[in-house]
Chain A
Amino acid sequence: MEREITLTVNGTDHELSVEPRTLLVHALRDEMGYTGPNVGCESSMCGACTVHVDGEAVKACTELAVRAEDAEITTIEGMGEEGDMHPLQESFQAEHGLQCGYCTPGMVMTASAFLEENPDPEREEIREALEGNLCRCTGYQNIVNAVESAAEEMRDSPMSPETATGETAADGGTVEEGGD
């Protein structure tokens, strides 16, 4: 039995109909086309699906789409775009903090929520913060470097908290997801 829900993703409202059991990550990817969050394990182990729900990093494979109504969801697509990337995205590139890129959207989302909490972390703290995000390619060191550099960059040139977390302002539009 499908349910009509409205999800707010990167500032845009989407009307869609989902089964009660539909995972948020599948609603985002299959119904709304936000394919940035990836599915690596569908069991809350890998973190590739991490998005922000009301500013908190959440593994979108552990959340039901119907429970995310009324929340502000931000995916990697809402963090920045080519040519206008978030400082974290930029530092991941500069520090070579990604290889295949599959874990990367989740890493960036986890890291950005973490830096909100702890803008001046030590390396060990970064490693701990990223424990729920697995990367099979990089060996993590350049990811830690990227988060460390981004933190520095964000401290040196503070932006409005909104831009800093990449929760981009909405255009306020509403999108209806066509049937299936």
Chain B
Amino acid sequence: MATDESPQEPRPEGVETVAAEDVDAADILGSAVERREDPSLLTGDAEYTDDIQLPEMAHVAILRSQYAHARIDGIDTDAAEGMDGVVDIYTADDLDVSGNVPTAWELDTLREVDHPLLAEERVRYQGDAIAVVVAEERYQAHDALDAIDVDYERLDAVTDPTEALDEDAPVLHEEAGENTAFEWEIGDAEATDEAFAEAGTVVDLDVTNQLLIPNAMEPRAAVADYDPGDDELTVHMASQNPHVHRLLMSGVLDHPEHKLRIRAPDVGGGFGSKIHHYPDEALAAWTAKRLERPVKWQATRTETYLTDAQGRGHETHGEIAIDDDGNIRGLRIDTKANLGAYLSTFAPAVPTYLYGTLMSGQYEIPAIHCEVTGAYSNVPPVDAYRGAGRPEASYIVERLVNRAADAVDADPAEFRRQNFVDPDDFPYETPVAVEYDSGDYEKPLDKALDLVGYEGFRERQAEAREEGRYLGIGLSCYIEACGLAPSELVGALGARAGLWESGLVRFTPTGTVTAACGTSGHGQGHDTTYAQIVANELGVDYEDVDVKEGDTADLPQGMGTYGSRSAAVGGSALVKGAREVVEKAKRIAAHQLEAATEDIEFDDGDFHVAGAPDRSMGIQEVALEAYLAHDLPDDVDPGLEATAFYDPDNFVFPFGTHVAVVEVDPETGEIDFENYVAVDDVGNQINPKIVEGQIHGGIAQGIGQALYEGAEYDDNGQLTTGSMQDYAVPKSSHIPEMETDSTTTPSPVNPLGVKGVGEAGTIAAPQAVVNAVVDALEPFGVEHIEMPLTNERVWRAVDERAGATGGDD
């Protein structure tokens, strides 16, 4: 990096891990214990879906539309059927199931459209599935795809949400009549108009929040197996939520839900892309059933580019109103959201309830109005990608706030501070329908400013400018809503499912514990975190707790892992389950100790009689008694386990401040990081090292959006960034050293006091970077650059302004 002349960059400070055996049982919660899942992942022992080999297994490959929009006049599979190893080929005509991919969220104005498993007469995005080839070998299946002859009649395509809403745009779904998928609003339009009318200063901004491709390193995959004897259909698949997949797939395939087993083996990342119900995994399952033979479908990277649900895709006009004292008075947002060709699983929720409700940011804004129009277009379905709606909200709010500070000539940090919600005002009700649980926004701001050396920065910046070097600093004071729940609320907002979570805690007679949760981790370290939680609640050794997830066969119904909900909702379900177990154990202990239950106290795994600490019994001994059942109280059944369903009262609202310091070369458009500081408040931390890892990874994806990534389509809807060559997933040298720290404001919503951490970095980072670059280029009059801030775009922005102002520098 050009800005750093020192030979050896020091390692940024980070959390130190400890081996679990070195941690006192009483301290396990909150310790940065090494992850227990790592040895298997590190030695090649892990089992990802593609590692599964079943006897007689055939391979499935899927023929996909080469056009973004076309009518299909015929499909000729004859030549392909005769090829070596080809077992069978299926098109829409062969499907004997209802086969319509559902969406799990409704909105009043939603125009729902059909989404068949295999395209019938029309394809609507490049990658739309047309036919399934089954062959003995992986390569043979792919060979046969090339021999299928599809007679297409190409139609005009539209990929941009604003253009798709135009009257003359090609209409994707004739039954819908137009490309408008929904019109939605939140907040008070009238109050907002008034606020703007009275405001001393109004600033506006148009931004594009570009389409992103999730790029989990493991492409989606499924291995399906059918046992005709008892009608059992088993699908091992890269899933973030096996129970949700089971529920939806049982409907799509008309297969009884209890005879369908979805199992997520090790999963190589998801970031949202493995939440949704796509046609492909269901087609693999259908094929296994049809052939009564196991099959494997493994997406190629090309297929993930063409078919994984993409994220973001907004075009937004935002306005902010400020009074003469520098107080924000109002915010007005108008967004066109790209939904892609079909409605994906959570698609309607992402640009609405996960977006509009976050428009208040960390600020007290008396009047807000946000309207969103969803548009069908010829790109793959758009749905949740890490952050899902909240990065888009945070981006427009923090860009507008930054510009507002400029407009009233205020320091961006002080302007924010002045407008923060006061720590005494929590719980805080925003004008956009949510109630923030807890917060103390100045703390992370101060800590971050301190870490980054904000005080001396402007001077340094001025000196550098003298030398022709352009430094910039960018703040992002973000808020997010996560821990997706509670069910009653999401139900009222349109969810066709609840968003509670299940936690099962089961002792064995020998005192070891199985804990199972309805979430489904895919890299987050749940085995470790959940074992910490359960060991702490039960007072047993961490090593005595085994964690299970991700299999519908024998685990309680669950909702899965997304929306940074696992710790807050899943972890809390385990707490609830563990506490129920302790309650039962207490009655057994009381009986054994010949005391009244009310007189029994429980700590660190021991029950003892109040005031008589030597009359005690360990919970693991109680477990044995519970299973021996030789001497239980009359009203207590044998066994020691509990399955709890936990439904919190509210979302949780993590927050924090990220600061980027960059140097921009106006001649080349190159951006170098001098520093990236993140101070996050995610409530209590169960494992601070895992928290740090989540923050790091999130920031990397946020920086990816800010500087490198973006799905691009040509006029015909052809994806021109369809490989890792053309779509820049950040590399090791693209991501700066990050300095992370935290503050702790426990959430009152759940028993653990946790908020959520999975998405924070991705939500926070883009605007920190963009604000920094714009700050660096302030001498050139650059006010905004659209993401990704490629060298070329930065250079052009400088060049255009230089042209406009007759040249600067």
Physical contact A–B (CB less than 8 Å): yes
Q: Which of A's residues lie within 8 Å of B, judged by CB?
A: 19, 21-22, 26, 29-30, 33-43, 45-46, 48, 75-77, 79-83, 85, 89, 92-96, 98-105, 108, 122-124, 126-128, 130-131, 133-145, 148, 180
Q: Which of A35, A75, A100 contacts B51 (CB 8 A)?
A: A35
Would A79 and B268 count as touching, CB distance under 8 A?
no
B44 touches A35 (CB 8 A): yes
Decide yes or no whether B138 CB sits under 8 A from chain A.
yes
A108 touches B8 (CB 8 A): no
Q: Is B48 interfacial (CB-CB < 8 Å)?
A: yes
B735 touches A139 (CB 8 A): yes
B9 close to A123 (CB less than 8 A): yes
Please, how many angstroms separate the alpha-carbon atoms of A39 and B138 in the complex? Answer: 13
- Asked if B216 lies at the interface with its beta carbon under 8 angstroms from chain A, I say yes
Q: Which of A29, A41, A82, A141 contacts B43 (CB 8 A)?
A: A82
Residues on A with beta carbons closer than 8 Å to the beta carbon of B14 = 141-142, 145
CB–CB A40/B217 < 8 A: yes
A38 to B51 CA separation, bound complex (whole angstroms): 9
Closest to A81 in B: B43
The 6 residue pairs across chains A and B that have the minimum distance between CB atoms:
A36-B44, A101-B41, A100-B523, A102-B268, A139-B700, A139-B696
> Contact flags (1/0) for B40-62 with A, using CB distance below 8 Å?
11111111101101000000000
For B37, what are the chain A residues with a Cβ–Cβ distance below 8 Å?
A: 101
**Contact: A26 with B138, CB < 8 Å?**
yes
Please determine whether B525 and A136 come into contact, CB atoms closer than 8 angstroms.
Answer: no
A136 B271 Cβ-Cβ under 8 A: yes
In-complex Cβ contact of A29 among B51, B522, B729 (8 A) = B51
Cβ of B732 and Cβ of A96 under 8 Å apart? no
Q: A residues within 8 A CB of B733? A: 127-128, 131
Which of A76, A128, A141, A143 meets B12, CB within 8 Å?
A141
B42 touches A93 (CB 8 A): yes
Question: Chain B nearest CB: distance from A42 CB in Å?
Answer: 6
Whether, in the assembled complex, B693 has its beta carbon less than 8 Å from a beta carbon of chain A, the answer is yes
B65 within 8 A of A: no
Q: Are A45 and B723 in contact (CB under 8 A)?
A: yes
- Measured as residues with beta carbon below 8 angstroms from the partner, the interface class of chain B is 35 or more
Cα separation A39 to B689 with both chains bound (whole Å): 28
Tell me the bound Cα distance from A35 to B7 in angstroms: 40
Nearest Cβ in chain B — how far from A123, in angstroms? 5
Tell yes or no: B690 within 8 A of A by CB.
Answer: yes
Q: Which of B695-731 contact A (CB under 8 A)?
A: 696-701, 723-725, 729, 731
Q: Is B738 an interface residue (CB 8 A)?
A: yes
Q: Who on chain B is nearest to A95 by CB?
A: B17
A140-B732 CB under 8 A given contacts A101-B268, A102-B268, A104-B41: yes
Q: Does B580 contact A (CB under 8 A)?
A: no
Query: In the complex the two chains form, is B699's CB within 8 Å of A139's CB?
Result: yes
Residue of A37, A40, A124, A139 most packed against chain B (CB within 10 A) = A139
User: CB < 8 Å: which of B215, B266, B738 contacts A141?
Assistant: B738
Contact present for A138 and B217 (CB under 8 Å): no
- Interface flag for B301 (CB, 8 Å): yes
Establish whether residues B697 and A139, one from each chain, have CB atoms under 8 Å apart when the complex forms.
yes
Q: List 13 A-B contacts (CB under 8 A).
A: A35-B47, A40-B219, A76-B44, A82-B43, A94-B34, A96-B17, A99-B524, A100-B267, A101-B38, A122-B8, A134-B729, A139-B761, A140-B732
**What residues make up the interface of B, taking CB atoms closer than 8 Å to A?**
1, 7-9, 11-12, 14, 17, 34-35, 37-48, 50-51, 53, 136-139, 215-219, 266-269, 271, 298, 300-301, 522-525, 689-690, 692-693, 696-701, 723-725, 729, 731-733, 735, 737-738, 761
The listed residue (A38, A131, A144) touching B218 by CB distance below 8 A is: A38
Contact pick for B693, options A19, A40, A133, A138, CB 8 Å: A138
Residues of chain B contacted by A45 (CB below 8 angstroms): 301, 723-725
Instruction: Give the Cβ gap from A73 to chain B, nearest Cβ, in Å.
Output: 13
Q: Measured between alpha carbons, how far is A137 from B1 in the docked complex, in Å?
A: 23
Cα–Cα, bound, A119→B136 (Å) = 46
> What residues of chain A lie closer than 8 Å to B216, measured between beta carbons?
100, 102, 136
Which of A34, A46, A131 meets B732, CB within 8 Å? A131
Smallest Cβ distance from B310 to chain A, in angstroms?
A: 15
CB atoms of B44 and A77 under 8 A apart: yes
Quick one: which of A42, A45, A82, A101 has the most chain B CB within 10 A?
A: A101
Taking a contact as CB atoms under 8 Å apart, the answer to whether B42 and A104 are in contact is yes
A22-B139, A139-B700, A139-B735 are known; give 15 further A-B pairs, CB within 8 A.
A35-B47, A37-B44, A38-B217, A40-B268, A80-B43, A89-B39, A96-B690, A98-B42, A100-B269, A101-B268, A128-B732, A130-B732, A136-B701, A139-B698, A143-B732
Taking a contact as CB atoms under 8 Å apart, the answer to whether A85 and B269 are in contact is no
In the assembled complex, how far is the CB of residue B271 from the closest CB belonging to chain A, in whole angstroms? 7
A92 proximity list for chain B (CB < 8 A): 38, 42
Question: Across the interface, do A99 and B138 meet the contact criterion of CB distance under 8 Å?
Answer: no
Chain B positions within 8 Å of A130 at CB level: 731-732
Measured between beta carbons, the chain B residues less than 8 angstroms from A145 are: 11, 14
What residues of chain B lie closer than 8 Å to A36, measured between beta carbons? 43-45
Q: Which residues of A contact B269 (CB under 8 A)?
A: 99-100, 102, 136-137
Q: Could you say which residues of chain B place their CB within 8 Å of the CB of A99?
A: 269, 523-525, 693, 697
A134 nearest in chain B by CB position: B729
**A34 proximity list for chain B (CB < 8 A):** 44
> Which of A26, A48, A81 is close to B217, meaning CB atoms less than 8 Å apart?
A48
Q: Once bound together, how far apart are the Cα atoms of A167 and B11, in whole Å?
A: 30
Expressed in whole angstroms, the minimum distance between the Cβ of A54 and any Cβ of chain B is: 20
Give complex CA distance A79, B729 in Å.
28
> Assuming A100-B268, A142-B696, is B731 touching A131 (CB within 8 A)?
yes
Q: Name the residue in B9, B39, B300 with the highest tally of chain A Cβ atoms < 10 Å from its Cβ.
A: B39
Min CB distance, A148 to chain B, in Å?
7
Taken together as a complex, chains A and B put the C-alpha atoms of A89 and B8 apart, in Å, by 24
- Bound form: Cα–Cα A96–B41 in Å: 12
A31 to B495: give the CA distance in the assembly, Å.
45
Q: Which residue of A has the minimal Cβ distance to B38?
A: A93
Contact (Cβ within 8 A) B217 A103: yes
Q: Which residues of A contact B12 (CB under 8 A)?
A: 141
> Which residue of the partner chain B has the closest CB to A82?
B39
Name the residue on A nearest B137 (C-beta). Answer: A180
Point out the residue from B522, B700, B725 that lies within 8 Å of A100, measured CB to CB: B522
* Across-interface contacts of B17 in A (CB, < 8 A): 94-96
Picked from B7, B266, B701, the residue with its CB within 8 Å of the CB of A101 is B266
Q: Report the bound CA distance from A46 to B729 in whole Å.
A: 9
Contact B44 A82 (CB under 8 A): no
Contacts A26-B138, A45-B724, A137-B269 hold; do A101 and B42 have CB atoms under 8 A apart? yes
| List of B residues within 8 angstroms of A98 by Cβ | 38, 41-42
Tell whether A82 pairs with B40 under 8 Å between CB atoms, given A26-B138, A101-B268: yes
**Cβ A127 vs Cβ B732 within 8 A:** yes
